[in-house]
Chains A and B, each alone.
Chain A
């Protein structure tokens, strides 16, 4: 499975932007880049995904490097509710097999 590398932890202040990096140097051409987050005592929650172009939704933005070997999840104004573990995942598919494999993620702490 293609792997991702994320910092173990990051810290941010409330109402400031947060840039969460992810390296995926072995990404293949058909791998989608997915981001999920897990708030304390909850199940993982889908945040955003992309293939080649930058993506925006109501939760966040995803900036994908031109060579696709790295990406950055951007939270434009962090709130206390954004404190969570953020997972960057390469969604590998082969035929009818689809797998989402979670790594250790980045623990984001938001300071008031």
Chain B
């Protein structure tokens, strides 16, 4: 089991550029989550999907952020245009359906730096 796979591990981009973060969940997991972590705000849930359908995107900061899950094995988080305040570590996690009785498995994260 390769776990949750995120790419890239590190991304440095200039302000105004489009950034796409990628996530491959664990096969068979029905739920997928995107989190962001900063020193100031800690771990924040941005959006989660259940069976590829976005269930709650209330944590998405603004319209510059969008997330998709075109199939059960792939999800993207896109920021367009990027701003320096978007600099953070972005984590993807997955869990079996009915996640409260199961643990989440997190990926290693993507460290994004916007200069």
Hey, which bits of chain A sit against chain B, CB under 8 A? 32, 34, 36, 42-46, 49, 91-93, 96-104
With the chains together, A100 CA to B56 CA distance in Å? Answer: 12
* Additional A-B contacts beyond A49-B101, A91-B99, A102-B42 (15; CB < 8 A): A34-B103, A36-B103, A42-B109, A43-B91, A43-B106, A43-B107, A43-B108, A43-B109, A44-B106, A92-B100, A93-B100, A98-B50, A99-B45, A99-B56, A100-B99
Pick the contact of A98: B43, B99, B106 (CB < 8 A): B99
Asked if B65 is at the interface of the complex by the 8 Å CB criterion, the answer is: no
User: Nearest residue in A to B91 (C-beta to C-beta)?
Assistant: A43
Q: Are A44 and B104 in contact (CB under 8 A)?
A: yes
Q: A101: which B residues are within 8 A, CB to CB? A: 45
Number of A-B contacts (CB under 8 A): 53
Interface majority SS (helix, strand, loop, mixed), chain A: strand
Pick the contact of B91: A34, A44, A46 (CB < 8 A): A44
With the chains together, A58 CA to B82 CA distance in Å? Answer: 42
Hey, which bits of chain B sit against chain A, CB under 8 A? 31, 33, 35, 42-43, 45, 48, 50, 55-56, 91, 93, 95, 98-101, 103-109
Name the distance in Å between B60's Cβ and chain A's nearest Cβ: 14
Q: Are A103 and B50 in contact (CB under 8 A)?
A: no
Name the distance in Å between B55's Cβ and chain A's nearest Cβ: 6
A43-B91, A43-B109 known; A96 vs B42 contact (CB < 8 Å): no
Q: Are A99 and B48 in contact (CB under 8 A)?
A: yes
Top-10 shortest CB links A-B: A46-B103, A43-B106, A102-B43, A91-B100, A98-B99, A32-B100, A93-B100, A44-B106, A43-B91, A43-B109
